[in-house]
Amino acid sequence: MAGAFAFTTAEGQALNDIRIERHKPVPMSDGVKLYADIYLPSAPGRYPVLVTRTPYGVQRDGVHEMMVRFAQHGYAVVVTDVRGRYESEGKWEPFRDEAKDGYETIEWAARQPFSNGKVATQGGSYVGHNQWAAASLNPPHLVAAFPALASTNIYANWLTMGGAFRLSFNYGWGVVRMPNRIMLPQYWHTEKYMPENLKYDNVLMHLPLHNMDVTFEGAPVQHYRDWLTHESYDNYWKEISDEERFEKITVPVHTLGGWFDIFLMGTINGFVGMKKHGGSPEARAGARMIIGPWGHGPTRTFGGVDFTPDAFMDMYDLQIRFYDYYLKGINTGLDFEKPVQLFYMGVNRWRSETDWPLPGTEYREMYISSNGSANSVRGDGSLSFTKPVKKASDTYRYDPLNPVPTTGGNNCCGTPTAAGPVDQRPVERREDVLVYTSEFLKDTLTIAGPVKMKLFAATDGKDTDWMIKLTDVYPDGYSMPISEGILRARFREGIDKIRLLTPNQVYEYDIELTGTANAFLPGHRIRIDITSSNFPQFDRNPNTGDPLGSSAVTRVAVQTIHHGGTNLSHVLLPVVKGVK
């Protein structure tokens, strides 16, 4: 079925006509047929092709406008439902078939009479991951890829962070919305008419995790159960990890993400991986990255903060410059731009950089200390560039039945959970949150790059979590989160190694936080928050040492954070020259 359409601007000026071909079969080598909608310029001819492969349905609101604009600009656009979703045949198993199916779809598109043989891939989030997966098999006709807001390691920067299970996302996306062929609504867990037992506040508190699907959704969801079973970075995950295969990708890749996006580390790791390990000189030289003060897509305002009109970037404009350069040979100015564009929060300014981490970065340690009472913002925790000589410690109790609620940060797309630069003061008033704050700054301190926490800590059980937040404290007290990280203690030696703890033994932990770019202004303070939960963004560690998702029992853990003397717990800040 095909239709022809003419579009008109608000001023009444006719734009290029296009035609849309519906429900076109794209055969896979195993006999499965995927189905595509194809957007084409009306004029006959051979055009460069953009391939988009989505699990959300080719009919999804928001898709058509972008595809129409691409077709009006002289591209053939192939949009397919992925295997097992909507109109496409086969079984839906998230992530498992995307590399092979993507390769075959790209090569199919290149053979079509509307194609000039040059193909690029397009899309964000899961669709962005699909681009990475297909590119790793090196399709001969693939010229470039633009995976926006995408994970590069489904285990490490999608399913978990530091081994801690992203409950809100994994349950809300993987079980509620995406269990089978079509996307189901979230509202049956949020509407007023739903009984209390099916409200998210009760659903997410359920233990054990492994039977939540049957208990609340009425049927087992096999991929969710597989995720719980494979709780470490084993071969199940490695065989679909893009980060294991950067050297096989030979085309230029442009990443884009937000400082508060759930897949921020995928954006960063994708750029760094291609710049260092891309499979050709063109791929390494062509790696590009943009990061704005966004969540899961460009906006001006996020998490209640207005980052000024300059913060917003138009996705179509960004992509069309990239595609025109590589598929049409048009000089769009990419050659004259530095490969990295970062938005610096605090001063709300963009700056172009030559690399990530930034050349010339000075990594400076800020040490936590106290007199033993850093509990809550009312405590005596301090943060300083001066090493504390005196050995000391702070203690708090972590009760999985009374977890610290998720309040902003890097989240998206699952159960309704606040994300972004949300004020941390409500959680900083809790006694199970240790708060370490610097003196008021006299001069601007600008950071951009990876952030890490060195933590000396002990717990009285076999396992627990360590949750770290870096915040910018404004003169009025607003505590703006700019970087966060969590580590499940059993993964302290690596996400592929499970090592339970000896109770009450002090361990040295290296905790990776999300990358950031922020200018701490005069009169502001720098703060580190330490706790053991961030729920429901992450599942609650029951402190029992039991396998992920299996425990219906929890225990209260006594947590001790050591600092000073030989136990110099500190955050490592990437200090850079200021933004003018």
Q: What is the pLDDT of residues 258-282, one digit of tens each?
A: 999 999 999 999 999 999 999 999 9
pLDDT band at 14 (very low <50, low <70, confident <90, very high): very low
Query: Quick one: pLDDT at residue 4?
Result: 41
Domain final residue, candidates 148, 170, 205: 148
CA atoms of 525 and 344, how far apart (whole Å): 17
What CATH number corresponds to the domain at position 474?
Answer: 2.60.120.260
DSSP class of 153: -
The mean of the pLDDT values for the chain is 95
Average pLDDT over residues 545-558: 97
Query: Does 101 share its domain with 219?
Result: no
How far apart CA 312 and CA 394 sit, in angstroms, is 42
Interacting residues of 293 by C-beta distance below 8 A, sequence separation 6+: 258, 259, 260, 302, 305, 307, 311, 343, 345, 348, 421
62 φ/ψ sector (left φ>0, alpha ψ -120 to 50, else beta): left
Q: Could you tell me if 457 and 561 are in contact, meaning their C-beta atoms sit under 8 angstroms apart?
A: yes
Residue found under tokens 């396992």 = 463
Helix (H) or strand (E) holding 368: strand 362-369
Inter-residue contact 361 to 374 (CB < 8 Å): no
CATH number of the domain to which 125 belongs: 3.40.50.1820
Would you give the DSSP letter of residue 158?
A: I
Say yes or no to pLDDT of 186 above 80: yes
Residues 179 and 84 in one domain: no
Where b means 16+ CB within 10 Å and e means fewer, 474-512 reads beeebbbbbbbbbbbbbbbeebeebeebeeeeebebebb
- Do 57 and 179 sit in the same domain of this protein? no
Residue 242 has pLDDT above 50, yes or no: yes
Shared-domain flag, residues 45 and 189: no
pLDDT range class, residue 2, cuts 50, 70, 90? very low
Q: Indicate the residue among 218, 235, 252 that finishes a domain.
A: 235
Structural domain includes residue 242: no
**Residue 281, C-beta contacts closer than 8 angstroms, at least 6 positions apart:** none
Task: Verify that 569 and 508 share a domain, yes or no.
Answer: yes
Residue 10, in any domain of the structure: no
Q: How many CB atoms lie within 10 A of CB 304?
A: 13
Q: Determine, yes or no, domain membership for 274.
A: no
Same domain? 439 vs 488:
yes
Pull the structure tokens for residue 463. Answer: 């396992």
Residue 534 lies in a domain: yes
Rounded to the nearest 10 degrees, the angle between the axes of helix 98-111 and helix 126-135 is: 80
Domain span at residue 199? 160-235
Half-sphere exposure of 444 (CA within 13 A, CB side): 14
Q: What is the pLDDT of residue 78?
A: 98
Query: Which residue, 108, 127, 148, sits at the end of a domain?
Result: 148
Whether 299 has a pLDDT exceeding 70, the answer reads yes
pLDDT in tens, 335-366: 999 999 999 999 999 999 999 999 999 999 99
- Name the burial class of residue 129, with classes exposed (0-12), middle (13-18) and buried (19+) by CB atoms within 10 angstroms of its CB: buried
Q: Is residue 107 part of a domain?
A: yes
Domain identity same for 40 and 185? no
Paired sense of beta strands 557-563 and 76-81, if any: unpaired
In terms of domains, do 478 and 404 share one?
A: yes
Cα-based angle 539, 540, 544 (whole degrees, multiple of 5): 125
Is the pLDDT score of 64 beyond 90? no
In a domain, 443, yes or no: yes
pLDDT the model gives residue 15? 56
Which residue, 144, 210, 417, is CA-closest to 295? 417
Q: Give the pLDDT confidence of 438-460 residue by residue, as tens digits.
A: 999 999 999 999 999 999 999 99
Lowest mean pLDDT among 11-25, 188-202, 320-334, 463-477: 11-25
State the pTM of this model: 0.95
Report residue 54 as tokens: 């989505």
Three-point CA angle 52, 297, 245, nearest 5° = 55
Q: How confident is the model at residue 467 (pLDDT cuts 50, 70, 90)?
A: very high
- Could you tell me whether strands 525-531 and 465-473 are parallel, antiparallel, or unpaired per DSSP bridges? antiparallel
Total domains, the chain: 3
Provide the residue type at 189 as one letter.
Answer: H
Whether residue 187 sits in one domain with residue 120: no
**Are 107 and 227 found together in one domain?**
no
Contacts of 335 (CB under 8 A, 6+ apart): none
Residue 135 lies in a domain: yes
User: pLDDT over 90 for what percent of the chain?
Assistant: 93
Tokens at 504, concatenated? 């009450």
Q: 156: buried, middle or exposed (CB in 10 Å: 19+, 13-18, 0-12)?
A: buried
- What share of the chain has pLDDT > 70, as a percent? 97
Does residue 51 sit within a domain? yes
Q: Is 521 exposed, middle or buried (0-12, 13-18, 19+ CB in 10 A)?
A: middle
Q: Give the per-residue pLDDT at 580.
A: 73
Considering the domain architecture, whether residues 115 and 164 belong to the same structural domain is answered as no
The DSSP code for 58 is T
CA 452 to CA 484: how far, in whole Å?
9
pLDDT of 7 above 70: no
Q: How far apart are CA 442 and CA 439, in angstroms?
A: 9
Tens of pLDDT, residue by residue over 500-513, are 999 999 999 999 99
Average pLDDT over residues 176-202: 92
Question: Do 66 and 197 lie in a common domain?
Answer: no
